[in-house]
Amino acid sequence: MKTFVSAKIHGVYVTDRNVDYNGSVGICAELMAQAGIDPYEQVHLVNLRNGERWVTYAIPAERGAFVLNGGSARLGEVGDRCLAIAYRLSDHPFEAAVLFCDRDNRVASTGTYDVVPTL
């Protein structure tokens, strides 16, 4: 078994931070569904402004929201652009959804990480 990217939300902007929350990242439920990220699924987050990278779990949030909760709230500021990446174990690569967000955290375009044949 190997670990492969299963979904990616690219260029999502932090809309709020809540250090007193128990943890996680709140991601717009519509983005999660379109990317194929399930509630409470592990995600890796990357802050493109400061280079921070960490692991947490995703919880559904209101439309357009991307909220850093708990300790994650210390790793970014409102307005920071981030990536949210989910991974899955598999024997073989598979196609993974990629969503590219606009400034309002709506899907601007989509793509996939396509399976490339092994040489």
| Cα distances (angstroms) measured from residue 82 to each of 20, 21, 39, 76, 90 | 21, 20, 19, 9, 26
Is 57 annotated as catalytic? yes
Amino acid present at 113? Y
Please enumerate in sequence order all residues whose Cβ is within 8 A of that of 20, keeping only pairs 6 or more positions apart, or say none. Answer: none
Residue 83 · residue 46 · CB < 8 Å: yes
**Among the options 57, 87, 109, 113, which is catalytic?**
57
Amino acid present at 12? V
Helix ranges (DSSP H) in the chain: 29-35
Cα–chain center distance at 93: 20
Is 113 annotated as catalytic? no
**Among the options 6, 13, 24, 72, which is catalytic?**
24
Query: Which residues belong to the active site?
Result: 24, 57
